[in-house]
A = this chain, B = another copy of it.
Amino acid sequence: MSLVFDGKCVVKRRMLTLDPTAFQVEPIDRADHLRGQPDALCALWEEGEAIAFSRGRPLLDEQGCLLRQPTAISGAFEAAFFLGLDGARGVFAVEMSQQAGDPGDAPRDLRMAVGRLPDRDGALAGVGAALFGFHHRHRYCGRCGGAMVTAHAGWRRDCPSCGHQTHPRVDPVVILLIEHDNAILLGRQAGWPPGMVSCLAGFVEPAETIEAAARREAMEEAGAELSGVIYLGCQPWPFPGQLMLAMHGKAKSRTVRLNTAELEDARWFTQEECRALVQGHHPSAAIPPRSAIAHVMIAAFARGN
């Protein structure tokens, strides 16, 4: 039991502890002070490591690990993004599809493939994929329509016409562990694989706290009125650039008023059912893999710690 803070009120409740998830490891020293120093980066490039991407997706080797190679054979420094320092060594993300030779195939289901990588590789792939996605979606200036150029070693886009600068976008999303009397509410969207259920989630809107966003999403999607909302932990989800903020709240009742524009179904799962979901032998439902924070949230509830 623990005292925790929610808005003005201090409530007593069981504390849920999330296991570490994919993309939570910091794989590298981001060394952001070097991003604006082309001379230092060129020197790092000489002896650096390149992580290979094709059309913005990381390439994997035969063992299913990230394809890494010395920067010396990776083409021009100008086409690389600086990911950071591994000790004294520079690590770069390099787009290979525009180069000679066969760049190999990037995995089609990036989420699954990256989720299966070792933690550090997955996190590096995530940073790179987020940067490539950023450049792809900001080729032109939102203010004047001019062509933007890559700046700051891949961490900024600049507009030479009007001077506008833009940085990689990180979209905060609340993902909800909605509890009532030892059960949680899980929903499913129409396009998901049969039986798949997960935590309700939605984007945080402008001028909104994450606690308010959690209450709003629970109400919008399932008509659930939440109280005692607290933050549990987070996971970056770089497809393309979400920041998943795990929130816990208590529903006032088990009544569900389904918003069919967002969800196909939503129902309550007891703690025992959640144990079966986590172990993968629930008779009719399944949850996302361990690499997703939804899995980790459901597992924490199932464990009850």
Contacts and interface: CB of A to CB of B under 8 A. Distances in A.
Query: How many monomers of this chain does the complex have?
Result: 2
Interface string A185-218: 0000000000000000001111111111001100
A38 to B, nearest CB: 16
Contacts of A278: none
A280 interface: no
Nearest to A245: B210
B207 A123 contact: yes
Contacts of A236: 206-209
A interface residue count range (under 10 / 10 to 19 / 20 to 34 / 35 or more): 35 or more
Nearest to A204: B170
B5 A3 contact: no
A172 B243 contact: yes
A33 interface: yes
Interface of A: 2-5, 7-8, 10, 15, 17-18, 20, 23-24, 26, 30, 32-33, 123, 126-127, 129-131, 134, 136-147, 155, 164, 167-172, 203-212, 215-216, 220, 231-236, 238, 241, 243, 245, 259, 261
Closest CB pairs A-B (n = 4): A130-B206, A140-B145, A126-B207, A127-B207
Given A10-B17, A168-B206, 11 more contacts: A3-B15, A4-B15, A5-B232, A129-B207, A131-B206, A140-B144, A145-B146, A169-B169, A209-B236, A210-B243, A211-B234
